[in-house]
C-alpha cells in the first residue's frame, strides 16, 4: 500500500513522541548523573521531621533519611561526589515540586495515600501517625471510654470531629465538643482545665507537650483512631530511581539504623532548643518496620 510522505512523517513523529515521553518521565538517575546534584524538597517547620535550625539549615528525621538516600544514589552512580541542593516547600507546593521535577525527593511529614499516588510515588513509610488525645496526667483518663460526659476540645477546621463521629465516640460518650482557634489554643484549654482532652495526630500532641512549661503534667493516651503512613515522595513512573530509594530504605530498616535515627529525633533532646519529644516508637510503626513495604492501605 502506498503511503503519502506527509502521513508517513506524521506517523513517524507520533511514534517518536510515544517512545520519548516515558523516557523523559523516567530519567531521574540520568539527570542526577549529568548534573552531579540531587534536589531534596524539605519543610521549614515540620518538627522533628524536616525544619530549619538556627542557621536556617534543613535538619530533622526525614531530612537525615533523605541524606542517606542521596549517598546511596551517589554510590549507585559511582560518582566521586554528589551535591545536595535543598528546595523549601509547603503543604500546597510539595507534590507539585516532585511531579514537575523541581525536586527528586521530598522529606517531611507527607501521608502516602491513593489520591497522591496519582501524581507521585512513595517509598517505605518512615513514620505512622495516629489520632490519639492529650490529657492532664492527673486527670485519671486513660482511654476514650473515660471521656464520658466530659468537655473535649478540637481545633477548628480539622477532621478530628469527623473522625470521632465515624467511631461513634461523640454520641456514645455524650461528649461536649468545643473548638480551639489553633492547636496551641486547644492545648492551652487542656492546660488550664477548660477541657478534659484534646484529640489530634499524636506526633503533633507530643510536640505540643514537649514545648509546654511542664511536659510531665501531660500524657498522650488512647487507642489509635487512625493510621497515617508518612513516607518520602519521589517521581512517579521511574522504576530505576525508585528501586535505589526503596533498597536504601530497606537497608536502613533491616540493619537497624532507622531505630537509632528514630531515638535521636523522638526520644532525645533535639536542636535548636533541646526539646525532647519523649515519643517512643508505637506498635504501628514497629509492625511496618517488621514487614517493610511501600504498599499501604487508604
- Position 167 scores a pLDDT of 79
What dihedral do alpha carbons 75, 76, 78, 79 form, nearest 10°? -70
Q: Are residues 204 and 233 in the same domain?
A: no
- Say whether 131 sits in a helix, a strand or coil: strand
Looking at the chain, the whole-number percentage of residues with pLDDT higher than 70 is 91
Residue with cell 470521632: 164
Q: Are residues 232 and 119 in the same domain?
A: yes
Q: What is the pLDDT of residues 281-298, one digit of tens each?
A: 999 899 999 999 998 865
What CATH number has the domain bearing residue 213? Answer: 3.40.190.10
Q: What is the pLDDT of residues 111-137, one digit of tens each?
A: 999 999 999 999 999 999 999 999 999
Structurally, the chain folds into a number of domains equal to 2
Confidence of residue 26 (pLDDT cuts 50, 70, 90): low
| Integer Cα distance of 43 and 87 in angstroms | 9
Sign of CA dihedral 269, 274, 276, 281: negative
Domain holding 98, by residue range, is: 27-128+228-290
pTM (predicted TM-score): 0.81
Q: Are residues 110 and 256 in the same domain?
A: yes
In contact, 261 and 61? CB cutoff 8 Å: yes
* Residue 270, in any domain of the structure: yes
Residue with cell 537497624: 256
Residue 61, φ and ψ in degrees, nearest 5: -60, -50
C-alpha count within 13 angstroms, C-beta hemisphere, residue 6: 0
Q: Are residues 51 and 91 in the same domain?
A: yes
Residue 195, φ and ψ in degrees, nearest 5: -145, 150
Q: What is the pLDDT of residues 210-237, one digit of tens each?
A: 989 999 999 999 999 888 999 999 999 9
* Residue 145, in any domain of the structure: yes
Q: What is the pLDDT of residues 134-167, one digit of tens each?
A: 999 999 999 999 999 999 998 887 778 788 888 7
In Å, what is the CA distance from 184 to each residue of 50, 156, 179, 197, 203? Answer: 20, 12, 12, 13, 14
Does residue 1 carry a pLDDT above 90?
Answer: no
* Residue 20, in any domain of the structure: no
What dihedral do alpha carbons 269, 271, 274, 276 form, nearest 10°? -40
- Position 164 scores a pLDDT of 83
Amino acid at each position: 500500500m502506498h503511503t503519502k510522505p506527509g502521513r508517513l512523517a506524521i506517523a513517524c513523529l507520533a511514534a517518536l513522541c510515544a517512545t520519548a515521553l516515558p523516557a523523559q518521565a523516567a530519567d531521574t538517575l540520568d539527570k542526577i548523573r549529568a548534573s552531579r546534584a540531587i534536589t531534596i524538597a524539605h519543610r521549614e517547620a515540620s518538627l522533628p521531621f524536616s525544619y530549619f535550625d538556627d542557621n536556617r539549615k534543613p535538619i530533622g528525621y526525614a531530612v537525615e533519611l533523605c541524606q542517606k538516600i542521596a549517598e546511596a544514589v551517589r554510590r549507585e552512580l559511582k560518582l566521586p561526589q554528589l551535591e545536595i541542593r535543598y528546595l523549601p516547600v509547603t503543604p500546597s507546593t510539595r507534590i507539585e515540586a516532585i511531579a514537575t521535577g523541581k525536586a527528586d525527593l521530598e522529606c517531611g511529614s507527607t501521608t502516602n495515600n491513593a489520591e497522591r499516588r496519582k501524581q507521585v510515588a512513595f517509598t517505605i513509610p518512615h513514620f505512622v501517625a495516629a489520632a490519639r488525645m492529650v490529657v492532664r496526667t492527673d486527670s485519671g483518663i486513660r482511654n476514650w471510654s473515660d471521656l464520658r460526659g466530659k468537655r473535649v476540645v478540637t481545633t477548628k477546621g480539622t477532621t478530628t470531629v469527623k473522625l470521632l463521629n465515624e467511631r461513634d465516640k461523640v454520641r456514645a460518650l455524650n461528649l461536649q465538643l468545643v473548638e480551639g482557634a489553633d492547636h496551641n489554643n486547644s492545648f492551652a484549654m487542656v492546660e488550664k482545665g477548660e477541657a478534659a482532652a484534646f484529640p489530634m495526630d499524636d506526633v503533633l500532641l507530643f510536640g505540643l507537650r514537649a514545648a509546654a512549661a511542664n511536659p510531665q503534667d501531660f500524657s498522650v493516651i488512647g487507642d489509635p483512631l487512625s493510621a497515617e503512613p508518612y513516607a518520602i515522595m519521589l517521581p512517579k513512573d521511574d522504576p530505576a530511581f525508585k528501586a535505589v530509594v526503596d533498597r536504601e530504605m530497606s537497608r536502613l530498616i533491616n540493619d537497624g539504623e532507622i531505630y537509632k535515627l528514630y531515638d535521636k529525633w523522638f526520644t532525645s533532646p533535639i536542636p535548636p532548643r533541646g526539646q525532647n519529644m519523649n515519643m517512643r516508637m508505637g506498635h504501628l510503626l514497629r509492625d511496618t518496620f517488621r514487614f517493610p513495604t511501600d504498599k499501604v492501605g487508604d
